[in-house]
Homo-oligomer: A and B are copies of this chain.
Amino acid sequence: MSQNSALVPALDKQPHHRLHPVLAAFAGSEPRHLPAPLISRLQPHEILFYQGDAANHIFEVVEGVIRLYRLLPDGRRAIAGFLYPGGLIGLSSNHRYACTAEAITAARIRRHTRSQIEAAARRHPELSGWLLQHMRDELAAVMNHLLLLGRKNAQERVASFLIAVAQKKTACGRPLSVDLPMSRADIGDYLGLTLETVSRVLAKLKAARLIALPAPHQVLLLQYDALRELAGEDDDEPAAETLTAQNKPWTH
């Protein structure tokens, strides 16, 4: 509950760009026509904005965990991502927010108007680049998630999830302790499973001694590498690039 790296839509792996109050810093360097960015507090089930709302603001999670989700007309829910402190919300939105943002835990959120950000970005190219990088990271994370949702089975999904959550906690010694502030239903809606299936898979991983569950919201990764194997992601594959460097179509 006290990690502070971004866990953007599909759980970023690289913990680069840890700067907490980045936007605030840039906003602060502007002439102070505007009040300093507002920090608002959210109660556990409070909504920050709804899908379809005009996307006039960009939010920065200061504390707590936020879920982003979309709903089908009949109520089925898909969680697009969990946001941890340092995470940015709404950056990649168009005119309207694509998801609903709701607090899972009590949270503190820094709010910036889009125009503020854009003005600051014009003045500070490094901020502009940083925001772009953030969007690219978000997209890369979502690509991973498409593979997970499209082609992985329940075990692989849960294992991938645990690995991803663990990779935010910058490599303490294993066995790794991870806590999951969200409910089983949240995890299910994130992984495209039912809450029962999530529970069952966790039980199975526990029976296989790959994890331990001291409490429902705390997981110990006992065999990290076995979990990675199960997750089936070649996260940091070395350069398979020199091999394929020839025979590029455009070298014709």
What is A's interface to B at a CB cutoff of 8 Å? 38, 40-42, 46-50, 52-54, 57, 70, 72-74, 76-78, 80, 92-94, 96, 98-99, 109, 111, 132-133, 135-140, 142-147, 149-152, 189-192, 232, 234, 237, 239-241, 244-245, 248-250, 252
Contacts and interface: CB of A to CB of B under 8 A. Distances in A.
A240 B100 CA distance: 12
Contacts of A93: 136, 140
A35 to B, nearest CB: 12
Contacts of A73: 232, 234
Nearest to A77: B151
B41 A78 contact: no
21 contacts: A47-B244, A57-B250, A70-B144, A70-B146, A72-B232, A76-B152, A77-B151, A78-B146, A78-B147, A80-B146, A93-B136, A96-B241, A99-B143, A109-B250, A111-B250, A135-B136, A139-B139, A145-B146, A150-B189, A150-B190, A151-B192
Nearest to A50: B244
A239 B249 CA distance: 46
Contacts of A77: 151
Contacts of A76: 151-152
A145 B98 CA distance: 12
B192 A72 contact: no
Given A53-B241, A147-B78, A192-B150, A140 B98 contact: yes
